[in-house]
A and B are shown apart, each in its own frame.
Chain A
Amino acid sequence: MRFIFKTSYEQDLRLAKHGGHVFWYSLLAVALVAAPWVAPEYWLAQLTFVLIYAIVGLGLMLLAGFTGLFSLGHAAFLGVGAYTQAVLTGMGWPFALSLACAAGLSAAVGVVVGLPALRVKGIYLGMATLSFGFIVEEVFARWESVTGGNSGKHLVPPQIAGYSFESTESFYFLCLVIAVVSTLAILNLLRSPTGRAFVAIRDSEISAQSMGIHLARYKTLSFSISAALAGIGGALYAHKLQFISPDQFNILQSIDLLLMIVIGGLGSVHGAFLGAIFLISMPQLISLSKDWLPTAIGQAPGLQAVVYGVVLIAFVLFEPMGLYGRWLKVRTWLQMFPFYRKGLFKRQKSFQKSDRLK
């Protein structure tokens, strides 16, 4: 077991807490950079999707996991980013500029959605974001002069200074760079006063307010940052698929995004990545397992929904901290080996605690 004695505030704020962090994350970075030379093209494409979903997941994690506001219409932000990117690059704008516009426009829309969040909480906020998601989806389908309606819209591969990111490898690197930058941005945000204010709002709004945190400002800020990341993710998603249509940004996609961060582990940056890996690998795992199952079950169309549902239920019931929580437990067990107690991570019983008066 490793003990870290903190002797200064700088030490407390450092991104890498000890040498182990430096070593393992460098190893991960090397592996990710080397992936195009090692992994087959199909795997690389899946890895690109993982990175894109992780970018969106980081945003949603900031909103749901760290600020405690949950959004049931996050796919709409994804869509705003994707369509902005499609329209602007279609008009011949450079990639970086249109990406910035996609992020900016999503953030602006996020502020608009964040405004009702100032008045309503919990399930009412869920309803507001859900309604917003439905309306935006309908706008995508109806505003044909811009979005192409239900027949969708094609995109060209991104270009930076004349270089076209057409190949799987080059686009992978582009996504990797953006993912790393956004992860660092989120990590830095979280250790800044703003990030701490978000966590304070999540833990108790009234206490946060009495400590001088401007609730309205920070809630809208959280919404806009989250929406901006979703917009960036949406833009990359659009480039990756090279074709977008309104039904890619519907309520089921929003629920998938929520499912991703819950299974990854709410309230942890690792969780966004683990959740993205889960979300992308799950369909593959299910189709692999089809050969082992009896045909009646394996070929049934509802199998995927059942597996998703059962996994979600199991996580909420038995592992509310998600995949990252499971990893923490395994690590603690290894570190403490003969002395691990069973009830170490036990949840407090909070039966009959009322949420209604919050």
Chain B
Amino acid sequence: MQFVQLLISGISQGCIYGLIALGFVLIYKATETVSFAQGELMMLGAFCGLALMTVLGFPFWAAVLASILAMGLFGVVLERAVIRPILGQPAFSIVMLTIGIGYVLRGLVTMIPNIGTETHTLPVPYKDLSFRLGALVLNAEQLVVIAATALLCVLLFALFRYSKLGIAMQASSQNQLAAYYMGIPVQRLNGLAWGLAAAVAAVAGLLLAPITFVHANMGLIGLKAFPAAVVGGFGSLPGAIVGGLVIGIVESLSGFYLPDGFKDTAAYIVVLIMLMVKPNGLFGEKLRKKV
């Protein structure tokens, strides 16, 4: 029973990692850049929801929808303003650029007087609910995380499988130049990919907020999502979720069965092993080298 309990908490934590990793992968597939600001976008989404609910008095669902939309828009603007001028430059400078964006976002939130430096709780309707299933205790927060992640995965799958937009995005992620010649507006799609990634990050933030707290440094969890993306294979959307689940479960189990200190490093140990055994990740695509 204990094992199942740990498994469930691992899965719900893993869903959060998976959602953030999904953002990395969306951006990586579209623009070949790795965004280190994803955790901060998540933090911003949580703060956005908090502000809408407590300051403007939105009802819960309206606040969730509004903050997801707002973050999506923010992602598009960010891409247009900062990322687009530098596309095609070495990966290193883009990584530094997104680290800079992360610094600015974290700093700006901290600068809001009396709000930025404190921890807040997000008022959600399902707070403190729990179900008993035999000896199992299921928290509503964890179940909501799992359900919302599953729903989001279905939506994204439908988007990429059935909509014209999703298929165009897939095409441009496979070969930008060819897609461009076929009349696909690659640049606009890149912006949309950033918007989508920011919206997914906002979802992750809103889901994580009831479990931990809303805080300016909550974005540092994004560093745990990198292992998730690598384990799944950078550049594979289902891989990101699977990788997140693997990292979440390993972390939860090692926190219980292994001595202190392994919980925080488990994700990184897994990623090192993964890189040694299978550098392309579980679902990574193998590409041929060209000179």
A–B Cβ pairs within 8 angstroms, 25 of them: A64-B92, A123-B95, A124-B234, A128-B272, A130-B226, A131-B267, A131-B272, A134-B265, A138-B261, A138-B265, A204-B291, A251-B223, A255-B99, A301-B117, A302-B108, A302-B116, A305-B110, A309-B99, A309-B102, A312-B97, A313-B101, A316-B96, A317-B97, A355-B32, A356-B287
Q: Tell me if B100 and A312 are in contact (CB < 8 A).
A: yes
> A304: CB under 8 A from chain B?
yes
* Contact partners of A310 in chain B: CB under 8 A: 100, 104
Q: Tell me if B101 and A302 are in contact (CB < 8 A).
A: no
Q: C-beta contact mask, B231-273 vs A, less than 8 Å → 1, else 0? A: 0001000000000000000000000000011001101110110
Expressed in whole angstroms, the Cα–Cα distance for A199 and B180 within the complex equals 34
> B275: CB under 8 A from chain A?
yes
Surface stretch bound by B, among A218-226, A331-339, A346-354 = A346-354
Q: C-beta contact mask, A286-300 vs B, less than 8 Å → 1, else 0? A: 000000000011001
> B209: CB under 8 A from chain A?
no
Q: Tell me if B101 and A134 are in contact (CB < 8 A).
A: no
Identify the interface centre among B107, B261, B272: most chain A CB within 10 Å of its CB: B107
> A308: CB under 8 A from chain B?
yes
Give chain B's interface residues, CB within 8 Å of chain A.
Answer: 28, 32, 34, 82, 85-97, 99-111, 113, 116-117, 176-177, 180, 186, 216, 223, 226-227, 230, 234, 260-261, 264-265, 267-269, 271-272, 275-276, 279, 287-291
Q: Tell me if B96 and A131 are in contact (CB < 8 A).
A: no
* Contact partners of A258 in chain B: CB under 8 A: 96, 99
Q: Tell me if A300 and B111 are in contact (CB < 8 A).
A: yes
* Contact partners of A196 in chain B: CB under 8 A: none
Q: Considering only CB atoms, which chain B residue lies closest to A131 in the complex?
A: B268
Q: Tell me if B86 and A317 are in contact (CB < 8 A).
A: yes
* Contact partners of A269 in chain B: CB under 8 A: none
Give chain A's interface residues, CB within 8 Å of chain B.
Answer: 64, 70, 116, 119-120, 122-124, 126-128, 130-132, 134-135, 138, 141-142, 204, 206-207, 251, 255, 258-259, 262, 266, 296-297, 300-313, 316-317, 320, 347, 349-358
Q: Tell me if B107 and A303 are in contact (CB < 8 A).
A: yes
Closest chain A CB from B263 CB (angstroms) = 10
* Contact partners of A347 in chain B: CB under 8 A: 89
* Contact partners of B91 in chain A: CB under 8 A: 122-123, 355
Q: Tell me if B111 and A127 are in contact (CB < 8 A).
A: no
Closest chain A CB from B89 CB (angstroms) = 7
Identify the interface centre among B96, B108, B176, B276: most chain A CB within 10 Å of its CB: B96
Q: Tell me if A317 and B82 are in contact (CB < 8 A).
A: yes
Identify the interface centre among A138, A310, A316: most chain B CB within 10 Å of its CB: A316
Known: A116-B275, A355-B91. 5 other contacts (CB 8 A): A305-B103, A305-B104, A309-B102, A312-B103, A352-B180
* Contact partners of A207 in chain B: CB under 8 A: 291
A316's partner among B86, B279, B288 (CB-CB below 8 A) is: B86
* Contact partners of B223 in chain A: CB under 8 A: 130, 134, 251
Query: Assuming A138-B261, A302-B116, A303-B111, is B95 touching A126 (CB within 8 A)?
Result: yes
Identify the interface centre among A301, A313, A358: most chain B CB within 10 Å of its CB: A313
* Contact partners of A349 in chain B: CB under 8 A: 88
* Contact partners of A353 in chain B: CB under 8 A: 88
Closest 3 CB pairs of A and B: A302-B110, A309-B103, A305-B107
* Contact partners of A304 in chain B: CB under 8 A: 107
Closest chain A CB from B182 CB (angstroms) = 14
Q: Tell me if B279 and A142 are in contact (CB < 8 A).
A: no
Expressed in whole angstroms, the Cα–Cα distance for A320 and B86 within the complex equals 10
* Contact partners of B265 in chain A: CB under 8 A: 134-135, 138
Closest chain B CB from A115 CB (angstroms) = 9
Q: Considering only CB atoms, which chain B residue lies closest to A301 in the complex?
A: B110
* Contact partners of B268 in chain A: CB under 8 A: 130-132, 134-135
Q: Considering only CB atoms, which chain A residue lies closest to B174 in the complex?
A: A356
* Contact partners of B85 in chain A: CB under 8 A: 317
Query: Assuming A116-B276, A134-B265, A351-B88, is B99 touching A127 (CB within 8 A)?
Result: no
Closest chain B CB from A60 CB (angstroms) = 12
Closest chain A CB from B282 CB (angstroms) = 14
A313's partner among B82, B116, B186, B261 (CB-CB below 8 A) is: B82
Closest chain B CB from A216 CB (angstroms) = 15
Expressed in whole angstroms, the Cα–Cα distance for A182 and B15 within the complex equals 48
Q: Tell me if B96 and A306 are in contact (CB < 8 A).
A: no
